[in-house]
Amino acid sequence: MSETDFIAYLKTLKPEDWDKKVTDQWAVKDVVAHMVGWEKEAARIIKSIWEKKKIPWFYKTDDYDNFNKKAVEYYKEYKPNELIEEWEKWQSKVDKEISRIGEDKLRARPDLFGWLFEEGSNSHANEHYQQIKNVIENNV
């Protein structure tokens, strides 16, 4: 599940789907806001990680609650279409930064950028896509 596929799926949701609860704390919209927050963070830090050759802050912790809360709060007033546009904007910036440095160079440093090329069923995007899809399809 790529982020592009995830976004394409989100574009098919009905307005009322965005308010469905995915977890006790988060609705679909909140999960998407969380994803947008991480995409924005990726766009912000890729260049610095590459230049300094220092691992990203999130490799040094297992506590992402504060970051996630801030992202959800920041995007609270966004409408679903605005949230999708925001995700696409940051995704484009990430893609440009990858192209600027060179995907092959970044992939050669999984110690610094393994998170950037996370793929497959265990990926962050797939985890949240499956959560949302389950809620939508089962009318929870």
Q: Residue 65 has what pLDDT?
A: 93
7 contacts 90 by C-beta, under 8 angstroms = no
Tell me the C-alpha to C-alpha distance, in Å, between residue 118 and each of 16, 21, 103, 121, 127: 30, 26, 13, 10, 11
Model confidence at 140, pLDDT cuts 50, 70, 90, reads low
Name the DSSP class of 29: H
Please name which of 28, 116, 119, 128 lies closest in space to residue 72, comparing C-alpha atoms: 28
Cβ(80)–Cβ(10) under 8 Å?
yes
Counting other chains too, the contacts that 85-94 makes at CB distance below 8 Å and 24 or more residues apart are: 86/36, 86/40, 87/3, 87/7, 87/32, 87/35, 87/36, 87/39, 88/7, 90/36, 90/39, 90/40, 90/42, 90/43, 91/3, 91/4, 91/7, 91/39, 93/43, 94/39, 94/42, 94/43, 94/46
Per the structure block, which two tokens stand in for 72? 């959800």
Lowest mean pLDDT among 2-16, 76-90, 110-124: 110-124
pTM value is: 0.93
Domains and CATH numbers, the chain: 3-137 (1.20.120.450)
Dump pLDDT digits (tens) for 46-78: 999 999 999 999 999 988 999 999 999 999 999
